[in-house]
């Protein structure tokens, strides 16, 4: 992906995770941000979410 496409995905991930959807699933934004860092879906889903600080993402 190009830098512009990555930036667009980040903007989408940040806005998609707001409102009702974000309240229902608070880790949505964190998971999408981690995929931008290069983690595979299986790696993100296998995390111990108790040890993840979403404020640092």
Tell me what pLDDT residue 24 has.
57
| Domain housing 23 | 3-56
What is d(CA 8, CA 44) in angstroms, rounded to the nearest whole number?
A: 20
What pLDDT is recorded for position 23? 60
**pTM summary value:** 0.57
* DSSP summary character for residue 47: S
pLDDT in tens, 18-41: 666 656 566 777 788 888 888 898
Yes or no: say if 44 and 31 are a contact pair by the CB < 8 Å rule: yes
Band of residue 15 on the pLDDT scale cut at 50, 70, 90 = confident
Closest CA to 14 of 38, 32, 39: 32
Burial of 29 (0-12, 13-18, 19+ CB in 10 A): buried
Number of compact structural domains in the chain: 1
């Amino acid at each position: 992906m190009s830098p512009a496409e990555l930036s667009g995905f980040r903007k989408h991930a940040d806005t998609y995770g707001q409102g009702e959807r974000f309240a229902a699933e608070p880790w949505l934004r964190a998971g999408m941000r981690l995929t931008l860092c290069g983690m595979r879906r299986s790696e993100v889903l296998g995390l111990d979410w108790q040890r993840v600080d979403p404020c640092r993402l």
